[in-house]
Every structure is written in C-alpha cells, then in structure tokens.
C-alpha cells in the first residue's frame, strides 16, 4: 500500500519504484463510448507511425478510450493489431466496409447490448458484475485478455521495477508489454450509494502498479462522515481483506480477493455510465482500503464505481496533479465546434464540448471542481480551433498555459504546462483527398439516420448511434473515424514533435 504523499506524487513517481523514471509527458484521451475507442485507436496509429510513443510517459484514458488503450497496451500483439493509417486517397468503399478480424477495432462492431442482456438475465454473475463481465467479454476477450474460466489480475512488468519492488512482484497476472507509456485508467468512486445532490464523486485511478484515490478526503452525508482516499493498493490485492495495520514501509499483510480484480473489472468501472433510473446494485462495486486516522487500521468499504467521466471526461486532471510538463489532449467529442460561437462569452449547450470551458472557469454543475486554467486562455484556444476548422485543417492548438491551484484535485499552481489540444471534428482537407465514391458516401449524410448512417460523422452518439444498438458501430463508421483521427495526427506532425521536444 502507498499512502498519498501530496500533490504531484503518485506511486510510480516515488524514488526507487521504477528502474527508470517515466518521461514527464502524457497523452490524454477523452471518454465517449465506441466513438472515443475508435478515434483513440486511430490516434495511437498516428503516434506510433511518427515514432512519438517512445517519448510519451503516460497514456491517460477514461471510459471508451480505456477500452482502446487497455487492449493496445496489455495485448502481447497489440502493436500488430493496431494497424496503420491509410492515406485518404487510397481509401475505397470496399475497404471501408471490411475489418481485419485481428484488428483492435473489431470490438466496436460487436453486439454489446445483447452480451450485457445475457449476463443480466441469466443470473450467472451477481448484478454488480454483469456490466464488467460484458465489457470484458466484448472488448478484451478478442485479444485474449478476458479469461472468465481462469480470471487473472494485472500488474506491472517486473523487469521495469526497482530492485525492492521486483522482489515483491512474482504473481501470475496480465502485464503490459512495457512500463512506458504508463497506462492510467480513470473511474469515479461514489459515496454514499443513495443517489442525491449530496452524493460525493471522488476521482479513482487504476495503473499496472497501483489502484486507488489519490487524496485523503473527509466526506459528509447527513449525520454520516467518512474518510476516503489517500491510499493506493497493488492491483493484485485490490478487493481483498487486511490481516494487520499498514507498516511504516507501506507493506501490509492481506488475503487476496476471492476473485482477482481483472482488466475487465477495471475498464468496466471506468465506463459504467451513470443513468438515474438504473439500480445502484447493478453498478460495479469493489472493496477499497482507506487509512484511518484512528489506530484501528484501514477502513474497508464495498464502494460503488461509475464512469470516470463523472469527474473528468478528458482524463487530464490526474496528469496535472503529477505536474507533468508536456500533455497532448485528444478530445473525441460528440459535439462539433460551432464556427459562429463567440468565445468571449460562455457557450450555450451544443456550441462546444462542455468539458472544455469548465477547465477555464465556467460554472458547471456536472464538473464543479475542474477550473485549472485562466479564462483568457480559453478565448485563444477556441479561436485557434475555429481558424483551423475554417481553413480545413485538423483542429489542433498548441500553447503554454499557467496552471492554477486546485485543492480539490490536489493540483499545485504557479507553474506552466506545454499542452496541445486536439478536437475531433470534420476536416475539409482530408475529405477533399478522398476518392469520389468515398466523398459521395459522406455527402449522403442527409435524411433520417439509420443503420450505418454517417449523418453525425465524426460525432457518433456515445450510446445508440445505430438503431437497436448500445455501442455497436458498422465497419464503415469505424474505419472512417479511425482513418480521419489517424490522418489528423500525421498531418499535425510538426506541431506534435515541437510539443514533445519541450519535455
């Protein structure tokens, strides 16, 4: 167990934990179901083709992007399954209608609704396990990372650990191919379980090294109070029982959980989207240890977990807490950027992704704690994106921003971060290079959306893009979005290289 040491300190940043420290850079991918999953895989293709992944310290992801990053990082053949970006002039309608059976994109076309219903109705797993099992079955089993007949936990590659840590890391489990880029998956811890305006939403992180909430918080609800957070546990011990108090060294004896906490459990929690009518017993639960101020030792609570987007849909703020110097944010949004929007005023719904302005100070009831940048920078960011969209270029904006203090997130202010923002939107230059038959496919976007419609391309709905589907997209929908996202990275090579050179 690691006890939180304050701002900028995560377990992997501790002295001697890793054999070599990670680069102080991150690529953050937003949430957004299979839309985000597909765009993330396209963006990873582009970064891999440019050789930039070697310069990335962290891959930060949430919800749908966690489906992509986890498969890519943990699958032994993830690089081969990722594929490459195709030049737009080489795309054909026939190619777009097909997917290689080994591609990491294939799960985005799976019938997730049916898989989830099967687990929910058969009663083969408890209600709070159905979602995670369905997510694992759909998004991880095709690459061999979901094995319900012999479930595996996860952990770090032992060769990347410091000497003391490596001696403690012997168990059989799923491990990433390499420690870098270091994957961080985000979820939300909810307390109490009762839905109300007073329910607390606490950031929660999963890495190959440690699982936990990074800050100690005292939460209150009516006459009840609780200390939560401030501790990380090795993934193989998450959900188990303690046998003693935590030693000064951080070591603690405990019993492993009855079933390992798996990669499917992790990405299931990260993507368990909140709906008001859903019974809380159907959401993922896990036993989390929190150090207590008393001498009784850590408190253990069977906590409720939901989508990490409930606190940060861009998976950005945990990277600022680590005080990283270079960050690239891919915002794979459901909202197109409005060209007639004036960023001198706060936006109306639908003019821009609502997760952006709250980072710069717009009051927001969904994300009330996320202000980290000055408002003046918001105007510059949006105008840069709008100029790029008018010019037919990818919406990419690179800037150096002062970071403001945010006690709720444990972010220290008074420093600057080099940050590159990439907004998912239509790109006229890319479309102009497509073959006539493919352009016609995109131009046939009018009318009522039906199966395989491109009316909303590239802003597919997070849920229910196709009739009767929950997350399923068609091969053409998947391929077009992945190719656009990947080409956008290649077309922005100079900007991205300049950003990473600042690390």
397's enclosing H/E stretch is strand 395-403
In a domain, 201, yes or no: yes
Model pLDDT, residue 247:
60
Model pLDDT, residue 449:
66
Answer for the pair 153, 171: CB distance below 8 angstroms, yes or no. yes
Residues 411 and 497 in one domain: yes
Residues 104 and 114 in one domain: no
Share of the chain above pLDDT 70, in %: 93
Structure tokens at 125: 């797993």
Where does the pLDDT of residue 294 fall: very low under 50, low under 70, confident under 90, or very high at 90 and above?
Answer: very low
Residues 100 and 230 in one domain: no
Where does the pLDDT of residue 306 fall: very low under 50, low under 70, confident under 90, or very high at 90 and above?
Answer: very high
Q: What is the pLDDT of residues 309-334, one digit of tens each?
A: 999 999 999 999 999 999 999 999 99
pLDDT at 292 over 80: no
End position of a domain, from candidates 255, 280, 306 = 306
| 299-305 long-range Cβ contacts below 8 angstroms, 24+ apart | 299/226, 299/227, 300/241, 300/242, 301/191, 301/226, 301/228, 303/189, 303/190, 303/191, 304/189, 304/190, 304/191, 304/193, 304/280, 305/187, 305/188, 305/189, 305/190, 305/204, 305/269, 305/272
Q: What is the pLDDT of residues 178-195, one digit of tens each?
A: 999 999 999 999 999 888
Residue positions counted in the chain? 503
In a domain, 363, yes or no: yes
Model pLDDT, residue 221:
92
In a domain, 61, yes or no: no
Which of 374, 146, 102 lies closest to 265, judged by CA? 146
pLDDT at 89 over 50: yes
Residues 10 and 97 in one domain: no
In a domain, 375, yes or no: yes
| Domain that residue 327 falls in | 23-56+76-108+316-503
End position of a domain, from candidates 306, 327, 347 = 306
Lowest mean pLDDT among 132-146, 414-428, 430-444, 446-460: 446-460
**CA–CA separation, 155 and 152 (whole Å):** 10
Model pLDDT, residue 295:
45
CB-CB neighbours of 248 under 10 Å: 6
In a domain, 350, yes or no: yes
Residues 330 and 469 in one domain: yes
Where does the pLDDT of residue 208 fall: very low under 50, low under 70, confident under 90, or very high at 90 and above?
Answer: very high
Where does the pLDDT of residue 397 fall: very low under 50, low under 70, confident under 90, or very high at 90 and above?
Answer: very high
Structure tokens at 426: 């239509």
Residues 277 and 340 in one domain: no
Structure tokens at 262: 């798996």
Dihedral sign for Cα atoms in the order 170, 10, 303, 115: negative
pLDDT at 248 over 70: no
Residues facing 26 on adjacent strands: 58, 327
In a domain, 259, yes or no: yes
Place of tokens 């459901």: 334
Residue 361 CA: distances (Å) to CA of 28, 377, 496: 20, 11, 27
**CA–CA separation, 411 and 406 (whole Å):** 5
Residues 374 and 440 in one domain: yes
**CA–CA separation, 396 and 393 (whole Å):** 8
CB-CB neighbours of 65 under 10 Å: 38
Q: What are the φ and ψ backbone dihedral angles of 274, each rounded to 5 degrees?
A: -80, 125
Residues 344 and 458 in one domain: yes
Model pLDDT, residue 205:
98
In a domain, 62, yes or no: no
In a domain, 400, yes or no: yes
**CA–CA separation, 113 and 465 (whole Å):** 12
Sort 219 into a burial class: Cβ within 10 Å, 0-12 / 13-18 / 19+. middle
Answer for the pair 136, 130: CB distance below 8 angstroms, yes or no. no
Lowest mean pLDDT among 189-203, 285-299, 395-409: 285-299
Lowest mean pLDDT among 32-36, 123-127, 277-281, 335-339: 277-281
Model pLDDT, residue 298:
63
Answer for the pair 24, 325: CB distance below 8 angstroms, yes or no. yes
Q: What is the mean pLDDT of the chain?
A: 92
Q: What is the pLDDT of residues 364-393, one digit of tens each?
A: 989 999 999 999 999 999 999 999 999 999
pLDDT at 124 over 90: no
Residues 164 and 279 in one domain: yes
Residues facing 254 on adjacent strands: 242
Residues 376 and 493 in one domain: yes
- Average pLDDT on 433-458 reads 85
Our count of domains for the chain comes to 2
Q: What is the dihedral of CA 136, 13, 29, 430, to 10 degrees?
A: -130
- Three-state DSSP at 376 gives helix
pLDDT at 307 over 70: yes
Residues 328 and 378 in one domain: yes
Q: What is the pLDDT of residues 161-176, one digit of tens each?
A: 987 676 566 678 999 9
pLDDT at 198 over 70: yes
Answer for the pair 258, 237: CB distance below 8 angstroms, yes or no. no
Q: What is the pLDDT of residues 491-502, one digit of tens each?
A: 999 999 999 998
Integer distance in angstroms from the first to the last C-alpha of the chain? 30
Cis before 458 (ω within 30): yes
Residues 278 and 157 in one domain: yes
pLDDT at 246 over 90: no
pLDDT at 442 over 60: yes
Model pLDDT, residue 167:
58
Where does the pLDDT of residue 278 fall: very low under 50, low under 70, confident under 90, or very high at 90 and above?
Answer: confident
pLDDT at 8 over 60: no
Q: Of residues 58 and 217, which shows the higher confidence score?
A: 58
End position of a domain, from candidates 283, 306, 329 = 306
């Amino acid at each position: 167990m690691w006890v939180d040491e304050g701002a900028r300190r995560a377990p992997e940043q501790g002295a001697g934990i890793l054999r070599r420290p990670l680069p102080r850079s991150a690529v953050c991918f937003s949430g957004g179901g299979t839309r985000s999953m597909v765009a993330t895989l396209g963006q990873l293709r582009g970064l891999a083709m440019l050789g930039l992944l070697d310069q990335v310290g962290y891959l930060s992801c949430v919800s749908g992007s966690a489906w992509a990053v986890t498969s890519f990082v943990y699958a032994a053949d993830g690089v081969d399954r990722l594929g490459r970006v195709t030049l737009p002039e080489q795309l054909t309608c026939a190619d777009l209608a097909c997917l290689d059976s080994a591609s990491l994109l294939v799960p985005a076309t799976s019938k997730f609704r049916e898989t989830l219903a099967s687990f929910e109705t058969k009663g083969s797993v408890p209600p709070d396990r159905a979602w995670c099992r369905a997510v694992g079955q759909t998004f991880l089993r095709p690459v061999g990372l979901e094995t319900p007949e012999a479930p595996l936990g996860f952990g770090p590659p032992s060769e990347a650990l410091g000497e003391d840590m490596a001696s403690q890391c012997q168990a059989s489990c799923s491990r990433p191919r390499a420690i870098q880029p270091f994957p961080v998956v985000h979820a939300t811890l909810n307390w109490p379980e009762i839905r109300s305006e007073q329910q607390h939403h606490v950031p929660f992180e999963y890495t190959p090294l440690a699982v936990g909430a990074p800050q100690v918080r005292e939460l209150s609800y009516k006459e009840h109070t609780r200390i939560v957070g401030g501790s990380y546990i090795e993934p193989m011990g998450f959900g188990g029982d303690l046998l003693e108090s935590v030693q000064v060294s951080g070591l603690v004896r405990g019993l492993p959980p009855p079933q390992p906490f798996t990669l499917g459990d992790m990405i299931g929690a990260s993507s368990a989207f909140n709906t008001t009518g859903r019974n809380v017993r159907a959401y993922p639960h896990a036993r989390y240890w929190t150090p207590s101020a008393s001498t009784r030792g850590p408190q253990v609570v069977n906590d409720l977990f939901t989508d990490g987007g409930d606190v940060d849909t861009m998976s950005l703020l945990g990277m600022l807490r680590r005080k990283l110097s270079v960050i690239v944010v891919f915002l794979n949004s459901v909202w197109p950027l409005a060209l007639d929007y004036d960023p001198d005023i706060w936006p109306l719904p639908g003019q821009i992704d609502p997760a952006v302005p709250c980072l710069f100070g717009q009051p927001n009831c969904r994300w009330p704690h996320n202000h980290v940048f000055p408002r003046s920078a918001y105007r510059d960011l949006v105008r840069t994106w709008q100029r790029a969209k008018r010019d037919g270029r990818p919406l990419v904006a690179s800037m150096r921003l002062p970071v403001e203090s945010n006690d709720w997130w444990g972010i220290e202010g008074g420093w600057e971060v080099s940050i590159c923002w990439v907004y998912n939107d239509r790109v006229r230059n890319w479309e102009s290079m497509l073959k006539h038959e493919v352009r016609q496919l995109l131009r046939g976007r009018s009318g009522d959306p039906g199966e395989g419609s491109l009316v909303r391309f590239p802003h597919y709905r997070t849920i229910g893009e196709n009739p009767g589907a929950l997350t399923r997209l068609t091969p053409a929908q998947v391929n077009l979005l992945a190719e656009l996202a990947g080409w956008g990275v290649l077309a922005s090579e100079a900007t991205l290289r300049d950003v990473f050179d600042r690390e």
